[in-house]
């Protein structure tokens, strides 16, 4: 593939050699992320959006999976024990990460799948199954299918809720011997998403459908980086289940569109659309790490690892230009460092883990 200016394949230089240095950088970023951890609540920054803790948990579990480092497993188990309880603002969910928006539940469900991978403890897979069933309740025939984002309002069908649901379905299938139900649902979800119109003519995913105004057409919403990422993870899991190479072709179209986009990868460095205007909020600051996590998953299954150079360029740029003196990371991966918060830090952790 052709890289943009500033993006080169990994080379054997002191700052670009995988191994102990990469692990040390990721480990230091994880330690800094744990500075936001509140043991009493089991959350990373109790004032941050709740789903952010689910995503921080995923970042930590990915690090543990890649490195074998289990020193923070006690914190992981504490988070699950505390956060699986009924939510104060949504007790109707009954706990097990069932929330008032389907995407929030989806983040935690994927973290439970990863925790099952690490521990082989089926209790965590069972939680993910409960979450799948909960999200499934909000699939209906409006717009021909798909899940609602908001509960109980049912005002919006968007990309992220469907992508997370599709990823959970395919992940469950791949971990449950003899399953057919989750596989068929995953196929149904991908087919619907592919035909929904949310993937635009540039092969980028817009935010959602115009469900309130009618027509169920692409609403032209922002092409957030996480919407380009989560779908890659779902496609990889479905490919592992079916060995259908058309799924990898679809994933590469989206990934290549991001890498080549002058808006999302200006100068070859991943950039959130809100960065130029200085309007990124507590959610959007975490999106790029989610893309990097899923792009790395795609890269691992492709011959020649075509995205390795792009990912390493991001990590090198962030470490060099977007870090303070305490391994805390800012919003811009091309720098300069602005400030730290859990969204920025978990995003950095996911990127630094992606190149391990």
Q: What is the mean pLDDT of residues 168-180?
A: 98
Domain containing 120 — which CATH number? Answer: 1.50.10.20
At a CB cut-off of 8 Å and minimum separation 6, what does 163 contact?
A: 193, 205, 227, 230, 231, 234
Partners of 150 in beta bridges: 101
Cis peptide before 152 (omega within 30 of 0): yes
230-246 per-position pLDDT tens digit = 999 999 999 999 999 99
pLDDT value at residue 214: 75
Say if 3 falls within a structural domain: no
Distances (CA, A) of 289 to 75, 87, 115: 21, 26, 19
Residue 23 lies in a domain: no
> Which residues share a beta bridge with 38?
43
Mean pLDDT for 204-208 is 98
| Domain contains 194 | yes
Say yes or no to pLDDT of 208 above 50. Answer: yes
Q: How confident is the model at residue 213 (pLDDT cuts 50, 70, 90)?
A: confident
The answer to whether residue 63 scores a pLDDT higher than 60 is yes
Average pLDDT for 272-297: 97
| Residue 107 banded pLDDT, cuts 50, 70, 90 | very high
Number of independent structural domains in the chain: 1
Contacts of 47 (CB under 8 A, 6+ apart): none
* Within-domain flag for 19: no
pLDDT given for residue 106 in this prediction: 98
The DSSP result for 224-239, as a single string, is -HHHHHHHHHHHHHHH
Cβ of 281: how many Cβ atoms within 10 Å? Answer: 9
Q: Can you tell me the distance from the alpha carbon of 90 to that of 70, in angstroms, rounded to the nearest whole number?
A: 32
Mean pLDDT throughout 260-282?
97
Q: Which of 220, 216, 188 is nearest to 204 (CA)?
A: 220
What is the model's pTM? 0.94
Residue 37 belongs to a domain: yes
User: At residue 2, does pLDDT exceed 80?
Assistant: no
**257 lies in which domain range?**
33-298
- Let me know: does 94 contact 86? Beta carbons within 8 Å: yes
Question: Residue 136 has what pLDDT?
Answer: 98
Cis peptide before 115 (omega within 30 of 0): no
Q: Is 28 helix (H, G, I), strand (E, B) or coil?
A: helix
In a domain, 229, yes or no: yes
Q: Is residue 195 packed enough to be buried (19+ CB in 10 Å), middle (13-18) or exposed (0-12)?
A: exposed
In a domain, 304, yes or no: no
Are the C-beta atoms of residues 337 and 322 closer than 8 Å to each other?
A: yes
SS3 87: strand
Alpha-helical runs (H) found in the chain = 20-33, 50-67, 73-83, 102-119, 122-136, 159-175, 181-195, 225-242, 245-260, 287-301, 308-321, 342-354
Cα separation, 347 vs 356, whole angstroms: 15
Is 335 inside any structural domain? no
pLDDT in tens, 310-340: 999 999 999 999 999 999 999 999 999 999 9
pLDDT digits (tens, 9 = 90+) for 289-316: 999 999 999 999 999 999 999 999 999 9
């Amino acid at each position: 593939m052709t890289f943009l200016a500033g993006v080169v394949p990994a080379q054997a230089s002191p700052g670009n050699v995988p191994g102990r240095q990469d692990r040390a950088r990721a480990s230091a970023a994880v330690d800094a992320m744990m500075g936001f951890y509140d043991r009493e609540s089991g959350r990373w920054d109790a004032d941050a959006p709740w789903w952010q803790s689910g995503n921080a948990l995923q970042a930590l579990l990915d690090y543990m999976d890649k490195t074998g480092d289990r020193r923070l497993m006690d914190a992981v188990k504490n988070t699950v024990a505390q956060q699986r309880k009924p939510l104060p603002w949504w007790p109707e969910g009954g706990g097990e990460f069932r929330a008032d928006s389907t995407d929030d539940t989806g983040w935690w469900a994927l973290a439970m799948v990863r925790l099952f991978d690490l521990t082989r403890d089926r209790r965590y897979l069972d939680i993910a199954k409960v979450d799948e069933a909960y999200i499934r309740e909000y699939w209906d025939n409006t717009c021909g299918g798909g899940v609602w984002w908001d509960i109980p309002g049912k005002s919006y069908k968007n990309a992220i809720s469907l992508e997370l649901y599709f990823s959970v379905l395919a992940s469950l299938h791949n971990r449950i011997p003899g399953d057919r139900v989750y596989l068929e649902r995953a196929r149904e979800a991908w087919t619907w998403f592919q035909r929904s119109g949310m993937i635009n003519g540039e092969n980028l995913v817009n935010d959602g459908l115009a469900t309130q105004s009618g027509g169920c057409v692409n609403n032209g919403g922002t092409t957030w980086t996480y919407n380009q990422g989560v779908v890659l993870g779902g496609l990889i899991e479905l490919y592992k289940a079916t060995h259908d190479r058309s799924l990898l072709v679809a994933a590469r179209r989206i990934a290549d569109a991001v890498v080549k986009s002058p808006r999302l990868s200006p100068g070859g460095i991943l950039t959130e659309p809100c960065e130029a205007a200085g309007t990124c909020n507590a959610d959007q600051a975490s999106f790029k790490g989610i893309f990097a996590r899923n792009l790395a998953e795609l890269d691992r299954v492709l011959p020649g690892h075509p995205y390795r150079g792009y990912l390493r360029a991001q990590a090198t740029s962030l470490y060099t230009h977007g870090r303070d003196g305490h391994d805390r990371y800012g919003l811009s991966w091309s720098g300069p460092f602005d400030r730290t918060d859990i969204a920025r830090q978990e995003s950095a952790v996911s990127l630094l883990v992606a190149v391990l």
